[in-house]
Structure 1
Amino acid sequence: MERKKAGNKLPFFRQLKKDAGNYVLLAPALIYTLVFGYLTYPYMVIAFEKYNYKKGLLSDFVGVKNFEAFFKSTWAWQVTRNTVGLNLLFIITGTIASVGLALILNEVVHKRFLKVAQSTMLFPYFISWAVVAMMLYALLSTDTGLINRMLTGVGLEKISFYSTAKIWPLILVIMRLWKGIGYSSIIYLATITGMDSEIYEAASIDGASRWKQTTKLTIPLLMPTVCILTLMDVGRAFFGDFTMIYSIIGDNGVLMPTTDIIDTFVFRTLRLSGDASVAMAVGLYQSFVGFLLVFGVNKLVKKFYPDGALF
């Protein structure tokens, strides 16, 4: 028996040769994670140095001065507030809308209509944010935008969208929903379709309406999935969608009070000033708080709803 068990354990190189195809498919992801994940860890020391491109990691040590430079600036509170605030808006509205859409699609009986509807709602997810930014500009431009042309056509004044900061959180939420709701709802819909049909049959025999089945069965059974996905999103509440924000907002300083996030601030700091130390300090601050958020929120979920905890 011992020889048989030992024979089942192939040596590493024999196993590598046997599953060569699988490892080739896995290689790009492993290399990407290794290079941009683990091999970048030593460079975090830059946050505590006055980085010099000639000296590299052996630059002069300055302690926490780079962190002080950020936290004493007028930008620290603004970008932190915007990052967390926008992400919370995205998480709350996105979760509610995605779950609601999945519940609605689950009630569709006509299969052909369901396929067309899913394909239509999924399509925006694959559109680049750069293209979305151009589409949005075509709608909101002060001079040539479709909305302002319609307003002037009925005798109303134009709205200068690109110089009115307070309305942009709403615009960004709408664009985020339009682009991502179809993709997000697929996960919830897959969970719903995988639920035991016998439970619904028993509820129907007992006289439960479709509304009762949805509120008393579907939603409670869906909650563990909702909690896990929401927990993962909350863990990244300190990491904004750089591609979305920078594609749409760019370097428009008028809109920065409500749209500038940590990611765009780090990019702009490094691009304009070339100070890698401050940029790394802000990035390290972002990562550390995000790490605490994951564990803190998971602990709360584990206390009040154990089935929804991630670990």
Structure 2
Amino acid sequence: MGGTFFRNLNRNKAMLLMVLPGALWFLCFSYLPLVGTIAAFKQYRFSRQGFLYSLVHSKNVGWDNFKFLFSTDAAWTITRNTLFYNIAFIFLGLVCSVAMAILLSELVNKKMAKLYQTGMFLPYFLSWVIVGYFAFSFLSLDRGLLNHILGSFGGKSLQWYSDPTYWPYILVLVYLWKSVGYSSVVYLASIMGIDRSLYEAAMIDGASKWQQIRSITLPLLKPIIIIMTLLAVGKIFYADFGLFYEVPRDSGTLYSVTNVIDTYVYRGLKTTGEIGMSTAAGLYQSVVGFALVMISNFVVRKMDKDSALF
């Protein structure tokens, strides 16, 4: 048996060498850090002997870090904001990304299609710090573009960074502006892989563009839509820290609609320095995300086995 193993190893050494960098990356950044999850159950105190020594010799506190995380008045607010924002991001992001991919695929002038795609793809590479300053240039009380537009029509300037009323819509719009171009690439690639003879046959039968999209494009996109949605569901308890911290400029008056688990943990860590509490929050997010992926995949597998992620 050992000889067979080494023969297979030697036969596939070229492929294994190609996989090695990715395997090392996962080992270093995904598996080795799992040791640190022990800090979620400890009152971590750093010592000069190093991280592992401190981790082993820190006081065990059991579930106290989790209790501390969810015993505050903000626990419901941050959980609600994280969950509902991500639901909006998943649903609206899916609709906008698929719609954008279909529109790009229908453009006759492919050079213009590439130009539009590049223009929509560019915001994804901007950091949230830059996006935050873009938003500030629109929403600033004194020099903001939106307040100038309101003033030109006789309206009053709004204190955007002091009024939480509009921020759920602002955050969703900013997220879609930054991410839709990137997300649409996956769906556009899938559309490009659809057999064009199907559309030609539909046109011969007199099908309109909408009928072709409804009867050919969307059904054939269903597997990739389900996979992307399942992956997004796994991160439903994770929030994009930059979006919720940089864009609202960490305004305290907006915490009721901009405070999520990630920003709450960051502020708590900055204030108290409790590494155990931040590790507990990360472990909580990972466990819930894993459970949601498994449950969602189970439901999909029961409905359509071929569309399941695994």
Same fold (TM over 0.5): yes
Residue 51, structure 1, aligned to residue 51, structure 2: no
Q: SS in structure 2 opposite 1:40?
A: helix
Q: Which of these residues, 6, 20, 32, is aligned with residue 39 of structure 1? A: 32
Where does structure 2 lack aligned partners over 5 or more consecutive residues?
A: 48-53
Aligned counterpart, 1:11: 10
Q: SS in structure 1 opposite 2:151?
A: helix
Q: CA deviation at 1:270?
A: 1.3
* Number of equivalent positions: 301
**Higher mean Cα deviation, 95-104 or 209-218?**
209-218
| Deviation readout 1:157-179 (Å, 9 max, x if unpaired) | 11111111131111111111111
**Higher mean Cα deviation, 38-47 or 245-254?**
245-254
Q: CA deviation at 1:291?
A: 1.0
Where does structure 1 lack aligned partners over 5 or more consecutive residues?
A: none
Map residues 262-281 of structure 1 onto 2, 5 A cutoff. Answer: 262-281=261-280
| Deviation readout 1:15-42 (Å, 9 max, x if unpaired) | 37x986x46xx53x54443233211212
Could you tell me how far apart the structure 2 residues matched to 1:164 and 1:247 are?
16
Q: CA deviation at 1:7?
A: 10
Aligned counterpart, 2:192: 193
Could you tell me how far apart the structure 2 residues matched to 1:125 and 1:56 are?
37
Q: TM-score, with normalisation over the residues of structure 2?
A: 0.90
Map residues 103-252 of structure 1 onto 2, 5 A cutoff. Answer: 103-252=102-251
Contact 1:83–1:239 (CA under 8 A) maintained in structure 2: yes
Equivalent position amino acid for 1:235 in 2:
G
Q: CA deviation at 1:306?
A: 2.9
Could you tell me how far apart the structure 1 residues matched to 2:253 and 2:60 are?
36
Equivalent position amino acid for 1:212 in 2:
Q
Equivalent position amino acid for 2:40 in 1:
A
Contact 2:38–2:55 (CA under 8 A) maintained in structure 1: no
| Deviation readout 1:210-262 (Å, 9 max, x if unpaired) | 22111111111111111110111111101111122222134321111111111
Equivalent position amino acid for 1:74 in 2:
D
Contact 2:132–2:249 (CA under 8 A) maintained in structure 1: no
Q: SS in structure 1 opposite 2:58?
A: strand
Could you tell me how far apart the structure 2 residues matched to 1:93 and 1:174 are?
10
Could you tell me how far apart the structure 1 residues matched to 2:9 and 2:67 are?
55
Could you tell me how far apart the structure 2 residues matched to 1:153 and 1:201 are?
52
Could you tell me how far apart the structure 2 residues matched to 1:190 and 1:295 are?
27
| Deviation readout 1:123-176 (Å, 9 max, x if unpaired) | 211122111110110110112211112222332111111111131111111111
Aligned-residue identity in percent: 41
For residues 204 and 155 of structure 1, do their structure 2 counterparts lie closer, same or farther at Cα, with a shift above 3 Å needed? Answer: closer
Equivalent position amino acid for 2:241 in 1:
F
Contact 1:266–1:283 (CA under 8 A) maintained in structure 2: no
Q: CA deviation at 1:83?
A: 0.8
For residues 19 and 291 of structure 1, do their structure 2 counterparts lie closer, same or farther at Cα, with a shift above 3 Å needed? Answer: closer
Contact 2:82–2:238 (CA under 8 A) maintained in structure 1: yes
| Deviation readout 1:103-126 (Å, 9 max, x if unpaired) | 111211112221221121112111
Equivalent position amino acid for 1:265 in 2:
Y
For residues 77 and 157 of structure 1, do their structure 2 counterparts lie closer, same or farther at Cα, with a shift above 3 Å needed? Answer: same
Q: TM-score, with normalisation over the residues of structure 1?
A: 0.90
Q: CA deviation at 1:10?
A: 5.5
For residues 57 and 7 of structure 1, do their structure 2 counterparts lie closer, same or farther at Cα, with a shift above 3 Å needed? Answer: closer
| Deviation readout 1:50-106 (Å, 9 max, x if unpaired) | 222234332111211221112211121111111111111111111000111111112
